[in-house]
Structure formats: C-alpha cells, structure tokens
Structure 1
C-alpha cells in the first residue's frame, strides 16, 4: 500500500531530524495558525506545493497528500465521507439518510448525529494512523454534507439533501458543521466540506449527463435558492467547499471565479479550501470542452480559486490535472506565489485538526474503537430514525396499535432488505445492529407471516401466490415498498414517479386479498358472536370487535415522492408512513411509532419537500427556473404539501414570531439556529 511506504519514509526522516523539526515556527503552538501556516508554506518548493494540490484522494493514485520528510510532515488523506456516519471505513453507527433527518425539522438532532459521527471518525482515524493506513476514508476531512436543493422529484441524489427549502437546509448545515467540527475546543474533531457548489440539483444521467450539464440560472434564483444554504455553511465555519460537476451559466463550477472567489471568499469571507468533485477537472476538458487542454485547465482552475483536486488519475490523462501546473510554471503561465496562496488553506485545515501539535494536547487523540456502535450511539440512531418517520394517513385513528394482533403479514421487497433500507452513502453496519421491518415489527402479532413478493426492488418477477397466502390469513398486512438506491441514487435519476409495476400490483393484491379475508372473517365471527350473545342473552355492537381485519398499513422507503394516489384514496389502506431510509434502526423505530411504545415515539416527522401528485405538475429536470417549483413558488394542488405530517395528538401552530418582522432596504439577513441575523449588505 502506498500509505505504508509514505509513513515509513516519514518516520525514518522524523526520528533523524526531530531536533531540527522542533525549532520550526510552524510547530510553535504559541503562534497563531495563520503565522504557522505562513512559515510552513514558504518552506515548500514548487513540486511540493503542486503535489499537495493534486492529491485530494480517489484511490491509490489519487491520494494521500504525500509526506514532506525534510520538514517532518507526514501523509494526509483528504477523501472521507461522513454524511450520516463514518462511510466506507468498516463498521460504524448508521443514522438515517439526510432527507429523513431533514424531516425531523430538528437542528439539535443534526448536531447530535454529526457529533456522534465525528467521534467515530476520529477514533477510526487514530487507529488507521497507528497502523500506517492513509488510504481513502481513513482521514478527518469529511466531504459532507450535501446541501443542494431538492428541486425535482426525479433527481437521483435527492436522498442526500435536506429537502427543498434553502432556509431549513441552511439551519441543518450549520448544526452539522457545529457538531462535526466541534464548537468549544481548540481543535476540530473533523473537517466539514459542504457540497456541491453550486446549482447542482440534477440531472445525473437523464436526459443529459451531469458531467456536461450547464445549469442556466437567473441571478434571482441563484441568490434565493441555490446559494443561501452554502452561505450559512460558510458562516458556521465549515473548513471546505466542494465544487460541482456541472457548469453554471456556461462556466464549469470548478473554474468559476464568480463562485469560488467573488462570492465565496470576497462576499462571504471563506478562509477554507475548495476541492473538486471526483474527476471534475478532467471533465472540464473532455465533457464541457471549456478549455482545450490540461495545462490551460490547471491554470484556469487555480486562478479561479480551486485549492485541491480529487481525482483517481485514471481517466484519459492518466494523472491529476493539477500536476500540469509544473509545466505551466515553467511556461510562465502561473506564479509560485499563486501556488502558495492555494496551499495555505490546506495546511490551515490540518493545523486546526491538531496535526502539527504534540498529541497530548488534543483530547481527541485518546479516542479508540470502543466508541464505535456504543450504546449511546445506537440509542441515538433509534431516536433519529423515529423522528424521521412521517405519518401521511391514519384513518379512524387506526394507529397506534396498542394490543398484540393475532396474525400479521409483513410483505414487500423492502420488508427485509438491509442494503436498500440504508440508502446511499451509508456506513457499513455490523448485521448485529440492523433491524428491518420484518424483525422490528415481529412483536406486533402472535403469528407473523413474511414474503418479499418480489425478486428485487424492480420487482420484475412478482410472486402473487405468496402474497395471497400471507395476506389472506392476516388481521393486518404491513406492505413495505419503495425505491432504495437500486432505483434512485447518484448517477441514476428516476424515469417517472411511479413505483415498479410489480410493486403496484403487490399493493393492490394486498388490498384485494385483505378485503376478501375481511369479509370471510366478519361472516364467521359474526355468527360466533350471535350464537354467544343468544346464549348469554347479551345485546352488543359487533363492529368495534372487527376493527383491523384485512387492513393494510403501507410503509414507503424512498427519498422522493412516488405516485401513491391509489393508496391515499383507498379506505382499505388504513395508514401510510413515509420512512425515507432509516438505516440500522429501521425496525426499532417503526415498532416505536406503530405502537406508541415510548413517550417520544409520537409521529413528529414533516415532509421536507412538496409531494407532487404526478409529473404533469413538474417541469423538465433541465429547466432551472424555479417558477412553480417547491412550496415557495408552487401554485398547484399537491398530494401532500411541504411540511405535512400527522400525529397521534391534535395540535395547531399559533402566535408565530418572525424575527425580524421586516427587513429594511439595505439590510441582509442570514439564517442562524437562533433565527435571522441581519446586517449591512
């Protein structure tokens, strides 16, 4: 492994030069970070500067940033993912997918989740470093969260976002930054990189690739929809920003000076680094065809404000584009001073993480693997999943189920499918800590019947007889349908809002066979009750004793709205819950909500997006005009509006306070967890 040779080289050099190293000002903890960074970067030669800019991760050829043995500086891995748990680094606590966390409308929950994530990321990093492992997903720089706006229901990456509202997205981004980086310590637990900057909200692959798509955005929509949450992220102190694959008004994001310098740094005062999305610099040449060659691209991106390249170096050019800066320097196309300025934020980040200080000064260095899947973190995963569930329908107050039923059927391709219940960018969960609807809801009935009914999520082979057998015997049928990352994910947009045909048939059959079962049981039970009442000479009302026979509870596991008009209007579908992707605590959270098992398990989730009735209400994915999109501009009649969600209690919102009630001309407000803060433009 490349990381091992790097570290071996570093250790040998370190021990031979430790007396000299101790005298360098960049290791003097009494100086400010800025002073220390200044001292460090001016000691680097051009080749060293360029390598630091080029090695942002992306496989063994993409990273880590190489060591600088003569200064006692070790390798550093930039490429880690921490969207809702430590991703790609072995067993870790997996919290609900971002869109589900957004449904909680609870910034404090995001803070707790990101703080728990940071603890596990740091603990694993300590272990990786001890074992000289600097491969991808071993470091402290998290390329998370995704704060792009959920603009279109078919976009494959909706699940990674915080929904369609820039204000809510900004609040949740701030909470994430504060939790992951820490607020009250000299050192950051980990580093946040908010992405993808900017105006990146689809398409992935339909009708055009994201690698060459040009988002044409008017200034009003840019400022009011696509930028506010990024400003909130910056104001919260995020250490990094990732630029997106697409172009914005004809200029690729990673070479867009208006975005990376004029807005990000000059307007917002950002002092962190900008990293490219994976391979984005190369795609500027081969897909956008914005620059003619690699040298021009390297110079253009550096001048625009890009600091770090994330690339496996395995595409057409077979190396990182920033490596061409050495040739550009020789040709006089770029100055060494520009390279120094671009490298400064990289080492500022590493300073803030405590890399160049005595290890004993940073309490995070004492964390070990015992914190992974700790009881506290598993409890938080259940709490987060419970708060993420949105009750869409509950006829006759059928839920909660307060008594154990005789027979329950749990059916559908999402009923016992851990990988699809996780969603994209999920940690690798030890199976011991995973609960599915099948396992979590088994206590609902004395007898529990299960069938997936489908060969997979696409359900191109549907087992009607198996579904009929299970449903026909059940008092209540729990139908588990959805998309999973098999149908909507990064690189894959949905074709339409419909569920797969097999899944639709499964739901209709569950209703049909449930009705047949209900009629049979009603007739048999009615006769038994009449005989009993005649014998005991009792006059009674039969209907309350028959509640629940043949009823269907629909659980939906998707990031985006699906066409469920049939379920919403069917009286036999007694309840519907939008579950998103609850991750490892899926079954436990569902049991809590369906039975009101705990005082805090009253459904509290609210939709963080508009649930359109059908695609006739939505414009093309490639049209970035916000007219008639999201709750702020939509004039139609959705199936469920933004913020919709039922509860087991009656409530209303009243005496709302908006601060400030009015904003004067010449004032500008940004979101904060405590409300709006306003200042001069």
Structure 2
C-alpha cells in the first residue's frame, strides 16, 4: 500500500535513512558478557582473589574461612578441604614415599636432602591431586595446602610430638625448615607446586594433655632467642605461604587470638603476606580453654581481628560463625573479605581455577607416586639419618657368620613410619633388611620383649612357622573366590586410603590369614587387634580369630558416630570411642595350633589395615632371645619406642608414658631387662634404637660394643640399617637433640624457661650432646682462616677450614660451626653454620662457613636483639668443641654495636 506522506515527513524519513547508513559501519556486533577477572589466568592471583571474593555474600565468605570450605555453584567454586599433611611424605592419602620422620631428616644435617624430600612430596601431591580432581574427590588430605613443617623447638625430650620437629636448635630448625619449604613450594613463588605451612606458632611443645588450656609464660629473651627465631627464618628467608597458630596461650592470650604473635611479629616485623590457619579446634580453645571470649562467636571475632584467616574446626563451630559476628558488630565484613582474599590468592597461585592442562603440574600423574626413583631418595635419606653413637670396633660387621636379631622394634611397622605418615609400599623392616643383607641362613630372630608393660607388640613371625597363607577377597565378608593369595610372615599392615593388593578395586574387601601358631612357652597370652585410623571418617571394620577351629574372638573395631553440631555442613559425623579387639588365649603347650584370622573393611574408603598384637609372658620371650643369642656370633638388639607410645594427644597411660608424652626418658623396663639378659649371654652386642626422641641408653652406653640411633627411618629403613651394619653405608648423621642421662636435673616439663635446657644452656653432662655423631672414617681439621679478625657490627664474617679424611674409608663429614659471644649469661655457644661434605680416603676439601649478622647477635633480657662489641670465639669441628678433638678454633673482634629488628 502506498503511503501518502507530506513533503516534510518524506524529508525527515530521508534524513533518517541517511543517518542510519552513516552510522551502520561503527555499530558493534552483539557480544557475550566479559570474562570475569577471577577466570582470567593472565591476571595476578591477588586481583583474581579480590574479584571472586567481592562476588560472594557475607555468609558465603564466612563459609570459605573453614577447613571444610563449601561450594558456591553460581560462581563455579567447588568445595575444598584445606587440610592436607606431608611431614615426611604425603600423609593419610594412600600410598606415598615415606621418608624418615622429621627428627631423622634433621639428623642428616643435609639441607639439600630435606629440599629433595620436599620436592618429592609436592610431585606426589600433584599426582594425587590431579587424580582426585578427575574422580571428583574433594576429601580431606587430597589437596595442595600442606600443614607442614613443624618448626617448634624440641625443648624437652618428654614431648611426644618432638619427633615431628627438626630438633632443639633454632638455627638448625630454621635451615631445615627453609629447605623443606623450598622443596614443597618450588622455585616459582607465583606458581607453587604446593603450599607449605610453618606450625605451630608459637611457643608450643607440650604437655599434650594440657595443650587446649595451657598458658605459656615465657620471658621476652627466650621468646626472641629461641622460640620465634626459626619461624622468622621460614617467613623472611623461606617465604612460606601459610602459618598455623597453636593451641596454647602465650602470656594469657590464645595463640590464634594473640596480636603480639600474629600482628606485631608475623605481619608487621616479618612482613608475612600469606594466610594464617588455626590448629584444629583452636578457635574453640580461645573460649573454652583460655577463657579469652564468652562464646565461639566472640572467639572467632577476636581471632580474626588478631590475624587468623582460616579456622580448622573439623567437628566444631569456628569461623563459620563470623557472619553472625559481623551482624552483631563484633568485626567488620571487610575483615572477613580480606581473610577470604588471602586464602583464595593461594588457591589461584596453585592454579586451581585454571583450565585443566594449562599448568605444567597438571601433567604429573600417579606414576610418580611411590616411584622407584623416589624410593631411592628415601633410602639415601635413611642412610644419612643414622647416627653412630658408640663403636668399640664392633662395627662394621665384617667377620660375623651368624647374627641374632632381637628386640620389639626389629619388625615393627609403626617404628618405620613415625606419625603423620603416608602408607609405604613394600616397607623394609630391620629384620627384613638384615635377612637380605646377610642371608636368611645366617640370621636368628626372637622378639625378646614388649615395648613396655601394657604395650602389646605385633605377634612376631616366629609364632607363625612357615608363614601365613593370605587370601584377599573383593567382598567384605570373605565370600567368593579370593582375587589374590600370598604367604606372609605376620599380620601388621597399613592400607589407609589404599587397597591391600592391586587385584582389589573396591574399598569393600576382606582378608583371611590361615596357618599355625606356636608360642614360646605355655601360659596366658593377651591379644589385641588395632586397625589403622580412618580419621575423620568411620569405615565399618571387624575381625574374627580362631584357634584349633574354635572361634576365640570376633568384633567390630569401628567407633561411634554422631552429628557434628555447629560444624561446617560438609564435615563428616563426629567419630568417637574407637574400639579395639582384645582377647586372651591360654596355651598348655608349645606345639603348633591351627590358626585363622580374618579382617573386614567396608563402608568408606578411608582407613584400612590391621595389626594383631600380643603380650606374651616376659620370661618366655627373654629365654627365647637368649637362646637365639647363644647360637649367634653377634647380637643386634632393636629397642626403642613407637608412635603408639609417643605422639599427639593420645589416651595411653602406662608406666613411662602419659597422653602421648613421656614421664621418663629411660628405656622401658621390659627392654632394659632384655638388654641385661642378652649382655649376660656373653656375645658382642650392637644396640639399634628406633625412636622419635632421645632415649637414655645408659646400659647400652656402658656395656654394648656399638650403638646406632635410627629414628623412625621410613619405607627403606631396614635396608639403610642393614647396609650401615655391614659397612656398605658409612654413618655420618648428627644428633639434632641432646641425649640426656635422665630428666632428674632438667626443669619441670611445664617450665618453658630455657635455663638448663638444650645444649646452649644445659649445665650437666649428657650421654651424647647435640651435634654428636661418629663415623667409620676419621677426619682432621686444618687452621680456621677468617676473612678478617675484626668485623664491623652488622657485617657478616666468612671462615674457611680444610677438612681431610685421614682414613681408608670414604665417608661424609658434617662440619659444624659454633660461636661464643661476649654476652654475659649468654648461651655457652650456639650453632651458626654447618655443611655435610663427602670425602674420599685421603681427600681434603676447603669448607667455607659464612656467619651472618643475625648469627653474630645476642638477645638481652628485654628481648632486644643486637650485635655486641667485643671478643668472639668461633669453633669449627665434628661436633661441639668440648666433645671432639677434630676441631679448629679462632678468635675475632666485633667493632661497634648494632641493633637488629625483631
């Protein structure tokens, strides 16, 4: 239809068409919304974290400040469990390479070895994380934020968790901590392989049974000189990305709400930019234990305000109450926002929100986990960690034809693993290592004793002549055909988050062992079954035991569960009252008896593994051991402890042990009696001690021909010990703690003053001092050459010394440098440098030690650190100057003085 427009309208229409044609070329096509900054992998992590957190509601932000961080689907944020462990290998997440316990790694005095361990950890962690992401597994212990290393000072040998530390000295602890962090986090600070966490900040080292309410009273001097120094090093030099605050209070205020620690020192003085996480349940301790707040909401508020960013609450309320705290005006939302941004900056740095495959670490797969290459590193670490405490020429064992292997730690899996451990593949016990090294036909074995009265040990292989037939079922009730069979020496297994054999592809499985059992003497035998922890989950586990075809015991080993009221909604039910199977069998003879034992695991993939232990008549065990000793040329006695006796807050209370700590550092009486009986047999005795702490080996020091300290040596521990006994490995480890003769002249365990503690202040004579360790080689030190005999305050000093291997045996020498300052009432001397040096027979090497201004400094009673003018003495040698002739010393002068920062 033709429109009848007026000329004016037609003119306007024509103009409009002209304008449309003119503007058409510059019109933009329709576009999708811009990519959010937090999704842009080219942007810095802090910017991405800021953008993401700004998009969250207050309640969503508060939920992210929990270890069980909930998902936010509208933002594409998955749930994440921040808690993972990696003290000496990836822990609690299935098979992994298990290195020596941290205290053993400290005994290597080899920072490169510790760094290599850290690199293995982060590599295996990436393999596990990548696999878990593909499977949709967001469980605890499968992440990339690791709550290690433990930087606390092992001030008292009674502390059960001292095994997790790098010893009693702040300088050694700092260097080892930095090396661990370097290995775990990797060389690229903006793109770490994993996140390390220095814990437990600060002044934390027992007692375990008091930690939730214990208030540490510490002098300004001890705080600065001893308790904070290593933490500072891991922040300022190690650039650790996370710090964990402790359970205890310091001067009345809970560590996680303590502004002196978190604000004044950590953030202001040291410039820490990472995130602070509470120890698990420590925010609840702020209110319930330390009474610093009337309830959990106020406790969360003052902890956030003090500088804690993340609450590990596990089964309790914590920072998930912060939204209420904001609404009540206790803290601002900006404070919640800043804490969440610090947490998410770390996650963005780890590449958790980038496209899969865009990060080189995404290519690491499970083939790296517990690989043969990594196993070789663990063996090398175990060899380096062994300390030779005494040798009257008995070692190495060159002429012995038969060896009696005696003692409760000779085939004890727990004493290979230590605590906070991964699950080793084909672990080598000391007995296994010696059999392989010297030949089964040359070895006589007897268990000899329990670890301590009331502490059962695994039923030894000698009770199961010919071994046990093991049948593995892919069902939880021993039905169907077994998918695998084997012959095994005993029942002592750790399968946490792993499966027993490759043929089983389900976490609902069962195992049946059959054979015969023969006891060393007639009598009553108390048996116990203990399953591996499924923490924090509760798998269904059970056992049954039969002797001579009769059921003697059966039962469940799982605990009770109940809802975790007030905790994060993604946390599992609370687990409590874990059960242990216990039963008695009376044997009237020493004949073989038909034996069957079954274990069932189902319900959850966590946990896995069981140990069948016993308490046998002590006289029968000793008699069996003496007979084995008399039939051998030399006796190797394996004594010590286990992480079931010393460790973190545990219910044990028997003679010598309480709550995870030790009430005595003597070798337990059962083992002491065994040593005395073996000594009376008249054969040469070498004592090998496996423990995570110093043991007063007084009888061994007086009577044994040789003593080795092997710590908790990891997956290849038995191989390392056997190679050392045979002389294929030359020991060069050094003690990272003082071995006292007793605790009689030590201060009370609850006393944190450093007076008469550790090598720097102890006034007595120890069995073996910090830094002590012998070798099959001998070494000579040349004259110490100083870069200058006069140093300006604030400058470093370089010293060089020539070290020569004067023996016919290649070996490592650990060169240790100690400094005595002019401070009145200061330490007797302090470690200021060390280096582990390999030397061939007759070889000499010049070793340079740089003494930093901080190592030259002293701390006064007010806590002020400064370099003093005056005369200094530097001693370089095999150990502390008073304990060795292999040393060289020199004096120098510092001109002027200089105050150093906190």
User: For the superposition of Structure 1 and Structure 2, which TM-score range results when normalised by the shorter chain?
Assistant: 0.7 to 0.9
1:641 equivalent to 2:804? Answer no
Is 2:796–2:851's contact at 8 Å kept on the other side of the alignment? no
* Residue correspondence of structure 1 range 6-155 to structure 2 within 5 A: 23-53=35-65, 55-56=66-67, 63=68, 65-155=69-159
Tell me whether 180-189 or 193-202 shows the greater mean CA deviation: 180-189
CA distance in 2, matches of 1:606, 1:667: 30
CA distance in 2, matches of 1:355, 1:117: 18
Is 2:174–2:231's contact at 8 Å kept on the other side of the alignment? yes
**CA-to-partner distance for each residue in 1:260-308, whole Å, 9 max, x for gaps?**
1111111111111111111111122222222111121111111001100
Q: Secondary structure at the match of 1:485?
A: coil
1:356 equivalent to 2:353? Answer yes
1:650 equivalent to 2:778? Answer yes
Cα distance change, pair 419–659 in 1 and its aligned pair in 2 (3 A): farther
Tell me whether 661-670 or 152-161 shows the greater mean CA deviation: 661-670
Residue aligning to 1:342: 339
Is 1:484–1:558's contact at 8 Å kept on the other side of the alignment? yes
CA distance in 2, matches of 1:300, 1:660: 51
Higher relative contact order by CA 8 Å / sep ≥ 6: 1 or 2? 1
Q: Secondary structure at the match of 1:142?
A: coil
Cα distance change, pair 656–360 in 1 and its aligned pair in 2 (3 A): farther
* Residue correspondence of structure 1 range 200-599 to structure 2 within 5 A: 200-205=204-209, 209-235=210-236, 236-313=238-315, 319-395=316-392, 397-403=393-399, 405-430=400-425, 432=426, 434-442=427-435, 443-444=437-438, 446-456=441-451, 458=455, 461-462=617-618, 463-491=621-649, 492-513=660-681, 515=682, 550-570=683-703, 573-597=704-728
How far apart are 1:402 and its partner, in Å? 2.8
Tell me whether 367-376 or 80-89 shows the greater mean CA deviation: 367-376
How far apart are 1:37 and its partner, in Å? 2.1
CA distance in 2, matches of 1:225, 1:121: 32
Q: Secondary structure at the match of 2:357?
A: helix
1:175 equivalent to 2:179? Answer yes
Cα distance change, pair 659–255 in 1 and its aligned pair in 2 (3 A): farther
Is 1:659–1:675's contact at 8 Å kept on the other side of the alignment? no
Q: Secondary structure at the match of 1:504?
A: helix
How far apart are 1:654 and its partner, in Å? 4.8
Residue aligning to 1:190: 194
How far apart are 1:202 and its partner, in Å? 1.4
How far apart are 1:406 and its partner, in Å? 2.4
Q: Secondary structure at the match of 2:197?
A: strand
Q: Secondary structure at the match of 2:635?
A: strand
Which structure shows the higher helix fraction?
1
**CA-to-partner distance for each residue in 1:461-510, whole Å, 9 max, x for gaps?**
42122112111111011100001112211111001011221111111111
CA distance in 2, matches of 1:676, 1:351: 38
**CA-to-partner distance for each residue in 1:123-182, whole Å, 9 max, x for gaps?**
001111111111110100000010100100101111000001100100011101110010
Residue aligning to 1:531: none
Cα distance change, pair 672–616 in 1 and its aligned pair in 2 (3 A): closer
Q: Which has more radius of gyration?
A: 2
Cα distance change, pair 621–456 in 1 and its aligned pair in 2 (3 A): closer
Q: Secondary structure at the match of 1:36?
A: helix
Cα distance change, pair 196–657 in 1 and its aligned pair in 2 (3 A): farther
How far apart are 1:551 and its partner, in Å? 0.7
Is 2:155–2:168's contact at 8 Å kept on the other side of the alignment? yes
Is 1:174–1:672's contact at 8 Å kept on the other side of the alignment? no
Cα distance change, pair 232–333 in 1 and its aligned pair in 2 (3 A): same
Query: Which runs of 4 or more aligned residues in structure 1 lie more than 6 Å from their structure 2 counterparts after TM superposition?
Result: 19-22, 657-663, 666-674
CA distance in 1, matches of 2:366, 2:133: 13
How far apart are 1:453 and its partner, in Å? 1.6
Is 1:232–1:671's contact at 8 Å kept on the other side of the alignment? no
Residue aligning to 1:518: none
Cα distance change, pair 661–486 in 1 and its aligned pair in 2 (3 A): farther
**CA-to-partner distance for each residue in 1:219-247, whole Å, 9 max, x for gaps?**
11101101111111112111100011100
Is 1:171–1:671's contact at 8 Å kept on the other side of the alignment? no
Residue aligning to 1:609: 737
Cα distance change, pair 672–512 in 1 and its aligned pair in 2 (3 A): closer
Q: Secondary structure at the match of 1:588?
A: helix
How far apart are 1:38 and its partner, in Å? 2.1
Is 1:408–1:448's contact at 8 Å kept on the other side of the alignment? yes
Is 1:21–1:72's contact at 8 Å kept on the other side of the alignment? no
Is 1:659–1:676's contact at 8 Å kept on the other side of the alignment? no
Is 1:382–1:589's contact at 8 Å kept on the other side of the alignment? yes
How far apart are 1:20 and its partner, in Å? 7.1
Q: Secondary structure at the match of 1:310?
A: coil
**CA-to-partner distance for each residue in 1:14-73, whole Å, 9 max, x for gaps?**
xxxxx97970112223322222222222222101110001x21xxxxxx2x122222222
CA distance in 2, matches of 1:109, 1:263: 30
Cα distance change, pair 655–581 in 1 and its aligned pair in 2 (3 A): farther
CA distance in 2, matches of 1:660, 1:70: 66
Q: Secondary structure at the match of 2:639?
A: strand
Paired residue total: 603
Is 1:556–1:578's contact at 8 Å kept on the other side of the alignment? yes
CA distance in 1, matches of 2:337, 2:731: 53
CA distance in 2, matches of 1:97, 1:203: 20
Q: Secondary structure at the match of 1:39?
A: helix
CA distance in 2, matches of 1:72, 1:676: 51
Aligned-residue CA RMSD (Å): 2.3
Q: Secondary structure at the match of 1:130?
A: helix
Structure 1 unaligned blocks of 5 or more:
1-18, 57-62, 314-318, 516-549
In the superposition, the TM-score normalised over structure 1's length comes to: 0.85
